[in-house]
Amino acid sequence: MSTEHEELYSQRKERLDRASALKEPDRVPVTGGFGFFSAKYAGISHHEFLFDYEKASNAVIKTAVDFSYDTAGSVSRLGALPFTLAFLRDYDGLAPVWVNGPIHDILGVRYARFPGRELAEDAPFQFIGEEYMKVEEYDELIEDPRRYLVEKLLPRSCRSLENPGSSKAMASLFKWGVESRKSLEASRRLGAELKRLGFPSYSSGFSYAPLDFIGDYLRDVKNVLLDTFRVPEKIKQAAVAVGALIMEMNKIAAKTAPEGTRAFIPLHLNEYFSPKQYNEFYWPTLKQVALDLIDLGFIPLIFYEGYHDAHLETILELPKGKTVSKFEKTDLKKAKEIIGDHSCIIGGPPSSLFIGGTPAKMEEYVKNLMEDVKQGGGFIMSPSVSIPASAKPENVKALMDAVKKYGVY
């Protein structure tokens, strides 16, 4: 690392750390979240971005250097396989594995559609919700969730594992292990190169909300919502059982994660519940996951997707300064008023502003937002989700320019 890059790394890291700790840095930090924008900006297809490690890494590096946010983006990935929950109790060497293109080819994951496979080469991947667990199977999941995931979920959700113990399934698991190692090594090389160029990582851990896992991988969203009326006690017990497996995953991750690692938790079902339902069905096990992570030395970085305005007060039940709260559509001014001195807030421009806006409109947005959330620190600017692939580069640049103008303390 050159002296210049070393200084940049230190400045950016301190900026991010101070904001996360509810303090005022030199200016508001700006995180990446470039997503498929990196692919388009670097001139490669979505297929190449998800299937070719070298091309994807080069695209991420080019985007990071050219736009110079305080963190770099990453290669877009679908989500953690149930393997992360099913086997970690027995195999300490198994880390969370993301479904990228090559692993999708090997396992035939039914809940995903990938560019260059089921979709056109320049289409983003799609997550397809399906009902892989019947409502009458809740008892099996509750009694032995690990066994249920291995014996029922994986064969149903992965084409190559339809017949456990078959030569095809065994070969696929072997290939999956080999490819997972390649993916991990490529990720480490990218991280090392970004660090050498002066970009710190903001979140390198991952966890899950129990009810979201059930909705994403087992019952599908609509069925989970109906289950809260049809079998309310079963769904509560299932969330607790799945939460115990998530805790096992977190304990394994804690063995190698540095103290203070931020663990990203994306929420999906939160905005579908009324405050009463949220507090009865969703929040108890999510809260427990967050508290367990804190006890293990992690900092939960919870992405409250959609509109979370109705549930903001529950965040005050988590320890002050020990979590980071990212919002998608929630009123950031309201969030600042309610939790601004309790949890660091991350948020920023919607995708529409990157696509259809102008640099002048981006500057106006940032100026107005800074008036609402900048005071006292504890705020990090970020795209509301990821910067969309069709974003105008001048608007991506304008975000950083505007923060440098209006985000200085």
- pLDDT given for residue 399 in this prediction: 98
Going by C-beta distance under 8 Å and a sequence separation of 6 or more, which residues neighbour residue 172?
Answer: 106, 107, 158, 160, 161
The band of 78, judged by pLDDT with boundaries at 50, 70 and 90, is low
- pLDDT given for residue 89 in this prediction: 47
Structural domain includes residue 169 = no
**pLDDT > 70 in the chain, percent:** 94
Angle at 135 between CA 226 and CA 273, to 5 degrees: 25
**Average pLDDT of the residues in 52-73:** 94
**Average pLDDT of the residues in 359-363:** 98
CA distances from 171 to 73, 110, 167, 176, 398 (A): 33, 18, 6, 8, 49
pLDDT surpasses 90 at 141: yes
pLDDT surpasses 90 at 401: yes
Q: Report pLDDT digits (tens) over 274-327.
A: 999 999 999 999 999 999 999 999 999 999 999 999 999 999 999 999 999 999
Residue that the structure tokens 């017949």 belong to: 163
Q: Report the amino acid identity of residue 240.
A: V
pLDDT surpasses 90 at 351: yes
Q: Report pLDDT digits (tens) over 167-176.
A: 999 999 889 8
User: Closest by alpha carbon to 17, among 4, 29, 5, 7?
Assistant: 29
- pLDDT given for residue 155 in this prediction: 93
Greatest extent of the chain over all pairs of C-alpha atoms, in Å: 62
The band of 97, judged by pLDDT with boundaries at 50, 70 and 90, is low
CB 160 within 8 A of CB 168: yes
Structural domain includes residue 167 = no
Going by C-beta distance under 8 Å and a sequence separation of 6 or more, which residues neighbour residue 295?
Answer: none
What phi and psi, each to the nearest 5 degrees, are found at residue 274?
Answer: -70, 160
Distance CA 209, CA 266 (A): 8
CB 248 within 8 A of CB 89: yes
Angle between helices 393-406 and 53-67 (to 10 degrees): 40
Which of these ranges, 168-182, 185-199, 271-285, 343-357, has the smallest mean pLDDT? 168-182
- pLDDT given for residue 79 in this prediction: 58
Distance CA 162, CA 178 (A): 20
Q: Is 163 exposed, middle or buried (0-12, 13-18, 19+ CB in 10 A)?
A: exposed
**Average pLDDT of the residues in 378-382:** 98
- pLDDT given for residue 380 in this prediction: 98
Distance CA 82, CA 18 (A): 35
What phi and psi, each to the nearest 5 degrees, are found at residue 361?
Answer: -70, -35
**Average pLDDT of the residues in 101-111:** 92
**Average pLDDT of the residues in 235-257:** 91
Q: Report pLDDT digits (tens) over 118-138.
A: 999 999 888 888 999 999 999
pLDDT surpasses 50 at 93: no
Distance CA 114, CA 127 (A): 9
Going by C-beta distance under 8 Å and a sequence separation of 6 or more, which residues neighbour residue 279?
Answer: 314
Domain count, the chain: 1
Q: Report pLDDT digits (tens) over 2-20.
A: 899 999 999 999 999 999 9
**Average pLDDT of the residues in 62-83:** 78
pLDDT surpasses 80 at 76: no
Expressed in angstroms, the distance from the first to the final Cα of the chain is 29
Q: Report pLDDT digits (tens) over 324-345.
A: 999 999 999 999 999 999 999 9
Domain that holds residue 33: 3-94+180-406
Cβ neighbour number for residue 245 with a 10 Å cutoff: 21
- pLDDT given for residue 139 in this prediction: 98
In a 13 Å sphere around the CA of 228, the CA atoms on its Cβ side amount to 20
Distance CA 206, CA 220 (A): 21
The band of 80, judged by pLDDT with boundaries at 50, 70 and 90, is low
**pLDDT > 90 in the chain, percent:** 78
Residue that the structure tokens 């090392």 belong to: 192
Q: Report the amino acid identity of residue 65.
A: V
The CATH number for 389's domain is 3.20.20.210
CB 193 within 8 A of CB 74: no
Pair of tokens at residue 161: 């594992």
Structural domain includes residue 52 = yes
Angle at 395 between CA 389 and CA 398, to 5 degrees: 140
pLDDT surpasses 70 at 91: no
